Amino acid sequence: MKVITVTQLNRYIKTLLEGDKNVAAVYIGGEISNFTNHYKSGHLYFSLKDENALVRAVMFRHAAQKLAFTPGNGMKVIVKARVSLYEKDGSYQLYIDSMQPDGVGALQVAYEQLKNKLQAEGLFDDAHKQTLPPYPQTVGVITSPTGAAVRDILNVLGRRFPMARVLFAPVLVQGDGAPSQIVDAIERMAALGEVDVLIVGRGGGSLEELWAFNDERVARAVYASPIPIISAVGHETDFTICDFAADLRAPTPSAAAELAVPDTAALLQRLYALRQKTAQLLQMTLQRDKHRLQVVREKRCLRSPLFYVEERQMRLDLATKSLSAAAMMDQRRASQRLAAAAAKLDALSPLKVLGRGYAIPYKDDAVVTSVHAVEAGDRLTLRVADGTFGCLVEK
């Protein structure tokens, strides 16, 4: 009997699996569970399951970097993998080379994931949207130099508002290098400090061709731009991430140019209408003032100034008479009140008492009010009604 080690057994089973062409490159559909993203190594570890079974799987960094979306628990996917054995614990697992969502394209999944992420961060909030200037002096345009979009934009700008200056930044609008060029152009336009509004976009195309405008770097550059940005990706119904992050979305590059500048013809028509309205208002004001002047001229005070003075003088005479009568009446009442007060004072006067035969004795200029205040031999002064005289107290 030959005895082998566990390591030998696992290695033998691994050799069998890796030598089987039926499991060397197999497509498997299932649901992701127990998903782990090792950010340091870049490897993805998870299980792939269906209703009745489960198998472990690993996707190494070189393959994971090619994914356009981020896998997660509960996501149904189709993977291309080889089957092998992990010798250390004796379990077989899938080594995945590629992965795509089951039923929905990888780009669409990546689009939804990035949209939800940026929306949660507030990059699409209306509170951050800037208002477009009504009369921009300089319009920046970022698009491909060879496509129809740039010609449409320049034609519309030249027709609607030819006095605006246009600064054009040619960039790639699809391919791996497009997002970095678009971001660099937005930052350079902002650094100039001369651009009032910015148009960023391209003509229409498939989801893959428009993918540069679903790039996270482009969305963040559009959000951070101090210049109001119009997203002008040429697709009528579908939205890109750039559309959500921009201050305004236009369905086509031509529509973006129409939104960026006013229509000169419409402005001239409006100015003409304002001019007509101003002239009418001035004419109405002039007629009203003429009528008021005519009414004033018809007043008697202007036609006969002397009559106006005489009328006012008569009114003054009447007022003077009224004031004089009122003053005399007040004086008469005051005299009556004064006479009554004088009569009361006269009745209370000591002289009236003296006139009836009474006298007031004084001793050293002090009124004597008691017999105890004088002694025999004191000299007093008596005041009577018509004067004073001295006297001597005998007893």
Per-residue pLDDT tens over the stretch 356-374: 778 889 888 888 888 888 8
Q: How much is the pLDDT for 250?
A: 93
Whether 288 is covered by a domain: the verdict is no
What local confidence, expressed as pLDDT, does residue 236 receive? 65
Tens place of pLDDT per residue across the chain (395 aa): 788 888 888 888 888 888 888 888 888 888 888 888 876 788 999 999 888 899 999 999 999 888 878 888 888 888 889 998 888 888 889 999 988 887 656 677 788 888 999 999 999 999 999 999 999 999 999 999 998 899 999 999 999 999 999 999 999 999 889 999 999 999 999 999 999 999 999 988 777 788 899 999 999 999 999 999 999 987 666 789 999 999 999 989 999 999 999 998 888 888 899 999 999 999 999 999 888 888 877 776 666 777 777 777 888 888 888 888 888 999 989 888 988 888 788 777 776 777 777 888 988 888 888 888 888 888 988 888 788 888 998 88
Shared domain check, 320 and 237: no
Q: Is residue 234 part of a domain?
A: yes
Q: What is the CATH number of the domain that holds 73?
A: 2.40.50.140
How many separate domains does the chain show? 4
Residue 291 lies in a domain: no
Domain with 320, as residue range(s), is 302-343
Residue that is last in its domain, among 69, 103, 137: 103
Q: State residue 7's pLDDT score.
A: 86
Minimal CA–CA distance to 81: which of 47, 38, 37, 41? Answer: 47
Check whether residue 70 and residue 189 sit in a common domain. no
d(CA 208, CA 215): 11
- CA distance linking residue 200 with residue 141, whole number of Å: 6
Contact 340, 346 (CB under 8 A): no
Verify that 234 and 370 share a domain, yes or no.
no
| Distance between CA atoms of residues 40 and 26, nearest Å | 28
Tell me: do 356 and 335 sit in the same domain.
no
* Amino acid 183: pLDDT: 97
Q: Would 295 be classed as within a structural domain?
A: no
For residue 179, count other CB atoms closer than 10 A to its CB.
23
pLDDT at 366: 87
Gap between the Cα atoms of 237 and 214, Å rounded: 15
Per-residue model confidence (pLDDT) at position 19: 80
Q: What is the pLDDT of residue 161?
A: 94
Torsion on CA atoms 146, 147, 149, 152, rounded to nearest 10: 70
The burial class, CB within 10 Å (0-12 / 13-18 / 19+), for 140 is buried
Position 142 scores a pLDDT of 97
Query: Does the global pTM surpass 0.75?
Result: no
Nearest to 178 by CA among 148, 202, 196: 202
> H helices of the chain, where?
6-19, 61-64, 106-121, 148-160, 178-192, 216-224, 241-245, 253-260, 264-297, 300-303, 305-347, 350-354
d(Cα 78, Cα 69) in Å, to the nearest integer? 13
235 is written with which tokens? 């697709």
In contact, 373 and 363? CB cutoff 8 Å: yes
Q: For 148-165, write each residue's pLDDT tens digit.
A: 899 999 999 999 999 999
Half-sphere exposure of 212 (CA within 13 A, CB side): 25
| Of 103, 122, 154, the domain-final residue | 103
Residue 333 lies in a domain: yes
Residue 377 is predicted with a pLDDT of 87
My answer on whether 258 and 189 are in the same domain is: yes
Does 155 lie in the same domain as 67?
A: no
